[in-house]
Amino acid sequence: MSRWMRSILLLFASSFPAGVLWAQGSSPIDTIALPFRAVTINDGLSQGMVQCIAQDPQGFLWFGTKDGLNRYDGYRFTVYRHDPTDTNSVRESNVTSLTVDRHGRLWVGTSTGVDLFDRATEHFQHLAIAHPDGDWGSVAHVRLDINGDLWAATQERLVKVTFATPVEEGHPLPRFTLRWLHQGFSTVTSTRDGALWGASGRFAFHIIPRHDGTDRIDTLATSEPGHPILDISGLTVVEDSLRGKVYGITYNAILEFSADRKSWTALYTLEERAPLLQSHGAVVGPEGQLWVPTFIGLFRFQPATRHMELVRSTDPSLEHML
């Protein structure tokens, strides 16, 4: 089974509330029924609200829930929860973000901070990030850049963690310095060229990270002629490396960025500014289609034809889940 299909397989079986309808006045959306297999708490999933998914090089799927980090091998779950008597356990059971870096290491964002999972010992190393003013929010995104530095975004802050030496799994985390950036920086995602992308309020940014701290941060245009209601808030990006495309998912639109990443075209826009399309886990399918999980359902978007579909299950028993 392909990586992108595995990622889609069970998030939608457990994450979305039932009975939510698409908002009135939106752009036309067709409905399509597809077969799904549900994997739920009855199969060992620790909690029914899956907030994030990652897959490591060994093929394990990792699911962050409000009550534990779950590792799934296709047959059974191993659950990691916070244990106040064990300093090597995950810092918090409410897991809000997961990312696997280019070295195959799993970084875990929680409601209180960031951990690095040690595969050999199955211990969690806690990254001691502290904002001078106190609480800096629940981690929404974690990314390790091409220089080996870590970026973490919450609804309140964006922080860059610059390590003095490379991170080595199985060794203590190296010394690091913190750089706090824009307030209200709710997202940070990345593309294969090493760029980072983020959003803060009604603004979005393209970031070229540099280890020496001279990061280049460019503000992206927030409007396009003919799309006065487009809201670029909550921008996340997804890359189709096979076709050389970079797409942006915002609160109410799907964008395609130009080759130089300096401009974009709106492929699809809703008629409302409500955060109906916001997604932290969009993926590209083998034929170039976008699969966009949101809190109101799963959508499939065809960039070539700009056709949007709301996905339902062919199994009536799963209709309340999808």
Share of the chain above pLDDT 90, in %: 52
Q: Is the pLDDT of residue 268 over 60?
A: yes
Q: Is the sign of the CA dihedral 63, 68, 73, 77 positive or negative? A: negative
Q: Per mean pLDDT, which of 16-25, 63-72, 195-204 is the most reliable?
A: 63-72
Q: Give per-residue pLDDT as tens, 40-96.
A: 899 999 998 888 999 999 999 999 999 999 999 999 999 999 999 999 999 999 999
More confident residue, 44 or 234: 44
4: confidence class by pLDDT, cuts 50, 70, 90: very low
More confident residue, 9 or 31: 31
Q: Is the pLDDT of residue 178 over 60?
A: yes
Instruction: Determine the pLDDT at residue 199.
Output: 84
Residue position matching structure tokens 């970084």: 107
Give the tokens for residue 255: 């964008």
- Rounded distance between C-alpha atoms, residue 303 and residue 228, angstroms: 21
38: confidence class by pLDDT, cuts 50, 70, 90: confident
Q: Which residues pair with 142 in a beta bridge?
A: 152
Q: Give per-residue pLDDT as tens, 286-308.
A: 999 999 988 778 899 999 999 99
Q: Are strands 307-313 and 30-34 parallel, antiparallel or unpaired?
A: parallel
Residue closest to 66 by CA, chosen among 116, 101, 15: 15
Residue 119 CB neighbours (<10 A): 15
Residue closest to 98 by CA, chosen among 138, 51, 47: 51
Residue closest to 60 by CA, chosen among 106, 14, 28, 94: 106
- pTM here is 0.85
